[in-house]
Structure 1
Amino acid sequence: MRTGAIAAILIATAVTLGTAHPAFSADAAFTQFIVSLWPEAQAAGVSRATFDRETSGLEPDYKLPDLLLPGRPATGAPSQAEFVQVPADYVKEASIARLAAEGQRLMQKHRAALTEIEKRFGVPGTIVLAIWGRETDFGRHRLPYDTLRVVATQAYVGRRKEQFRTEFIQALKLLGEGAVARRDFRSSWAGATGLTQFLPSEYYKHGIDLDGDGRVDIWHSVPDALASAAQQLVNKGWEAGVRWAYEVKAPVNVDCTMGVPEVTKPIAEWLRAGFVPVRGQRLSAAEQAQPASLLQVEGIYGPAFLTTKNYFVIKEYNFSDLYVLFVGHLADRMVNSQPFATAWSASTQLRSADVEAMQRHLTRIGLYKDKLDGKAGMLTRAALGAYQKSAGLKVDCWPSEAVLRSMSGGR
């Protein structure tokens, strides 16, 4: 009988038995699932010795989030701070100030590497330092999970099985090639590893040996990790010489529903429409010619920004506006001590379930066509503003209790 058939029978048995012997049944099926991946690993260049050594005794971690387990309620990804905290809590001044001070010290310590990064990739050293600071607190945060176990579990019972099947094979390649020792191969619950948090496949796509020792080491070599982060940004479209965003004062009558990537126009047009760079900043003709989108992460409250192409490149690293604001602002603070010119408001964040309920309602009435994820991102905020217009409510593009009550009454 083929290995795949055996695995299928064991998985079916685990589901049928329910909770009678869940650990034994599921683990036996997991072992067969791992065995079934050998041909793919072999085709990718993993040796039999590496496969047997690294998978021997490998067990799934059913405590990970984002799994689909038979007989258990579906679990989602954990509530990332980027998506459940209000901006004032996420882009916290105390955290920014502490990391900026440390970043200034590291700018001096790694000046040669950062100079080379800026020369080769056109990415400011402060940007890659800020990514390092946000991702692992400049290496002080110890990642809690064994990477191979994480990607194997996610490939077996995760929501994104095919993606993690690839990551599992790539993780085996890393171990087989000696890129990293298993004891140092630590990751987040989603398999991101190294000082600047790469998936195993991203190591092969973007990894750079900047320190010249003949190997790409994103776990111990700061030059390699920062250069690899810069290479990833370049591969995703980073444009040299362009800022990530400009903070502006929005006009009183601003239409917050314009705050989506699809509404992009030269910065000069935004300025003519009444948007004013903060603190009297004067933009050059080249800067004013750059295309930009409006960003108001608290709706009409708090700071407003004109975001360039590079803003969205950083967003490829982590699909959260607050993440990009944190990284961009931290990078700025390493060379300028001034905080945002406009303070964050005292807004409150609704529960993810409430935001998802809003998204469902907005979808039903044709105002929203994106994911139902409970996250108040750009498209959700714009759709909320459109709903507020149609319902005769104050248009602030923010998910509030008042809007939720209005939607509930209209069902």
Structure 2
Amino acid sequence: MIARPATLLALVCFGLALLAAPAGAVSRSSVERQFQSWLADDLYPEASRRGISAATFRNAFQGISLDWNLAGLVPPGTAPPKHRRQTQAEFRSPGAYFSQRRLATLAARGRSEAKRWSQTIARIEARYGVPGRFLLAIWGRETAFGAVSIPNSAIRVLATKAFMSTRKDLFRGELLDALRIVQRGEATPSMMKGSAAGAMGQPQFMPSSYLKYAVDFDGNGHADIWTSVPDTLASIANFLNENGWQSGRDWGFEVRIPAGVSCAQEGPDRARSLAQWKGEGIRRVAGRTFDPTQLGRSAMMLVPAGTEGPEFLVTGNFYVIKKYNNSDLYALFIGNLADRIAYGSGNFVGDWGDVGHMLRSDVATMQRALQAKGYDVGGADGLPGFKTRRSIGEWQAKGGLNPTCFPSPELSRRLR
């Protein structure tokens, strides 16, 4: 049952006491009581206005308490943690993301699942126009084809983060969407298992994504992304299709970029036709050729480790995959795994270089220095996305250096 404070005065005094207390003095029992009050007096009125019944709300939060094990929590009466310089070497070569053992294991399982669900995948491909190997790759990457245990209550995780986290508004919206799912009868609160970030089921959809993209493909009347493989695969396909998947196009190709062609040409805003890239001397690796029917289509340069790693030309479908998870490395992992599932091989030809001993805070310092010089690095977050990489390359070229398009300790010292 959701508790309420006896009087408004009691609530005011309780809140003032929490705000006045040092962080370590805030008791969990006090915060739990405030959480129950928040559910009743703050969240429920808004949920009711959005069509959530009292019975649904009560059922969703029956026995729910805060999950104190989650990251990024800011209990009432405490302040968000201040930014601290990182003391651990978190920044590593992108190659560390691509465990060959893991990719090989997922690919082998993916080929097995492709045979098992071949008829279902064929029907999904026909409806949504997305090749099955990409659906399998995302399914495998997210939850190891449904084998990963997902023990968290999505309602509890979202409620905790909506009440006391650094992104309360975001999670409040997701929590209200989770209640809409329950209200529609798509799933019970106990069924709605998710990650520690609130992403649900085998495709790891946030509730808002579930409402937009989840589909009932097995015909039982519910879009069940927790136990139904057909619903899971079709929902992933629907997501990609709705976000602009181009039927008949691949995700991209590993290439060789010749000396003299700048690596600072990355990004979807610097797309050129495959024929133009080919005219610059860019070739596919291992003697492969570009499909002549695709030479007029646009492609984008991708150098996730600058000149110190494999180089790629990618299509618009690469950026559709990024909408699933906004990371160049994630999309590259999915594309590579999809190739391994479909073709039985996919090792990168280019070697991943070593970035040396750098902290993410070192990279962020480089980004701020480049911003001060007028470069658009996409934000000083310590993660070198394509805007940071090409800014480094442009700065190097302007200074008479050979562009490498990737952070390094030497470049960090030069930028100080």
- TM-score normalised per structure 1: 0.91
How far the C-alpha of 1:392 sits from its partner, in A, is 4.2
Distance 1:337 1:153, change over 3 A: same
Paired residues of 1:318 and 1:324 also in contact (CA < 8 A): yes
Distance 1:265 1:30, change over 3 A: same
Distance 1:213 1:84, change over 3 A: farther
Letter in 2 for 1:346: G
Paired residues of 1:359 and 1:380 also in contact (CA < 8 A): yes
Deviations 1:164-220 (A, max 9, x none): 111111212323444334343222222111101100111110011111111110000
Letter in 1 for 2:174: E
Please name the residue that 1:33 is paired with: 38
How far the C-alpha of 1:10 sits from its partner, in A, is 4.6
Please name the residue that 2:396 is paired with: 388
Paired residues of 1:352 and 1:375 also in contact (CA < 8 A): yes
How far the C-alpha of 1:120 sits from its partner, in A, is 0.5
Paired residues of 1:66 and 1:75 also in contact (CA < 8 A): no
Distance 1:208 1:85, change over 3 A: farther
How far the C-alpha of 1:160 sits from its partner, in A, is 2.5
**1:170 correspondence with 2:177:** yes
Letter in 2 for 1:359: Q
Identity of aligned residues (%): 35
Paired residues of 1:217 and 1:224 also in contact (CA < 8 A): yes
Distance 1:159 1:193, change over 3 A: same
Please name the residue that 1:298 is paired with: 305
Q: Which secondary structure does the structure 1 equivalent of 2:319 belong to? A: helix
Distance 1:354 1:227, change over 3 A: same
Letter in 2 for 1:166: G
- Cα RMSD after superposing both structures: 2.5
Please name the residue that 2:25 is paired with: 20
Q: Which moved more, 1:377-386 or 1:335-344?
A: 335-344
Please name the residue that 2:381 is paired with: 373
- Of 96, 121, 136, 1:129 maps to 136
How far the C-alpha of 1:71 sits from its partner, in A, is 2.9
How far the C-alpha of 1:228 sits from its partner, in A, is 0.4
How far the C-alpha of 1:347 sits from its partner, in A, is 1.6
How far the C-alpha of 1:23 sits from its partner, in A, is 1.8
Paired residues of 1:303 and 1:344 also in contact (CA < 8 A): yes
Alpha-carbon distance in structure 2 between the residues aligned to 1:252 and 1:391 = 18
Paired residues of 1:302 and 1:342 also in contact (CA < 8 A): no
Paired residues of 1:278 and 1:341 also in contact (CA < 8 A): no
Letter in 1 for 2:369: H
Letter in 2 for 1:370: G
Please name the residue that 1:264 is paired with: 271
Alpha-carbon distance in structure 2 between the residues aligned to 1:260 and 1:362 = 18
How far the C-alpha of 1:27 sits from its partner, in A, is 2.4
Q: Which moved more, 1:220-229 or 1:158-167?
A: 158-167
Q: How many residues align?
A: 403
Please name the residue that 1:335 is paired with: 342
Paired residues of 1:4 and 1:33 also in contact (CA < 8 A): no
Alpha-carbon distance in structure 1 between the residues aligned to 2:272 and 2:7 = 56
Alpha-carbon distance in structure 2 between the residues aligned to 1:7 and 1:299 = 56
Q: Which secondary structure does the structure 2 equivalent of 1:289 belong to? A: coil
Please name the residue that 1:43 is paired with: 49
- Of 204, 207, 211, 1:204 maps to 211
Paired residues of 1:6 and 1:32 also in contact (CA < 8 A): no
**1:65 correspondence with 2:71:** yes
Alpha-carbon distance in structure 2 between the residues aligned to 1:129 and 1:9 = 55
For 1:69-88, list aligned pairs within 5 A: 69=75, 70-74=77-81, 84-88=91-95
Paired residues of 2:377 and 2:391 also in contact (CA < 8 A): no
Gaps of 5+ in 2: none
Deviations 1:208-236 (A, max 9, x none): 11111111100000110110011011111
**1:116 correspondence with 2:123:** yes
Distance 1:47 1:337, change over 3 A: same
Letter in 2 for 1:37: L
**1:53 correspondence with 2:59:** yes
Gaps of 5+ in 1: none
